[in-house]
Amino acid sequence: MTPLALLMHTHIEQISPKANLREAAKQMRNKGVGSLVVSEGEDMIGIVSDVDFVRKGIAEGLHPDTTKVETIMSQPIITIDIDQTAKEANDCMAENGIRHLVVKDGEKVVGILSIRDLVLFYKNRI
C-alpha cells in the first residue's frame, strides 16, 4: 500500500475566481499543471482544469479575456484523506468523473493528486 503522500504534489497552484481564462491558461502552461485551485483568501472554493477549459469555455464560445475563472470552475472540490490508498484515489476519480483530487490530512489541505500521478504510479508497478 503506497501512501498518497508519496504520489501527490505538495505545492498547489492557486488562482482567484476573478482572474480571466487567459490568465489561468497561461499560469497552467507556465507551471506545467493541468489544474488550478480557485481560492478567495484562505478559502479554496473550486478547481479549474484543462477539461473545464475545453468543455465549459471553448465549447461554449466563451471569450478568454472577459470570462472569469469562477464561470467555468468545478465545485465543490472533491477531496481524499491522505491515509487512503492509490486504489481508493483512483476509484474516487472514476466515480466522480474527475482528474484531480485535493489531499487533506484531517481538515488541513496538504497536496493535490492528479490522474497523471496515478498513471505513473501504476506504470512503475508493472
Q: How many domains does the chain have?
A: 1
Sign of CA dihedral 98, 115, 14, 2: positive
Can you tell me the mean pLDDT for 27-43?
Answer: 96
Render pLDDT for 43-53 as a digit per residue (tens, 0 to 9): 999 999 999 99
- Alpha-carbon distance values, 45 to 2, 38, 54, 91, 102 (Å): 29, 6, 20, 23, 12
What number is the average pLDDT over the span 53-79? 96
CATH number for the domain harbouring residue 94: 3.10.580.10
Residue 2 has pLDDT above 70, yes or no: no
Q: Are 58 and 40 in contact (CB under 8 A)?
A: no
- What are the residues whose beta carbons fall under 8 Å from the beta carbon of 99, sequence distance 6 or more? 34, 35, 49, 51, 93, 114, 115
Question: One-letter amino acid identity for 50?
Answer: D
- Binned at pLDDT 50, 70 and 90, residue 91 comes out as very high
Residue 14: give the domain boundaries: 4-125
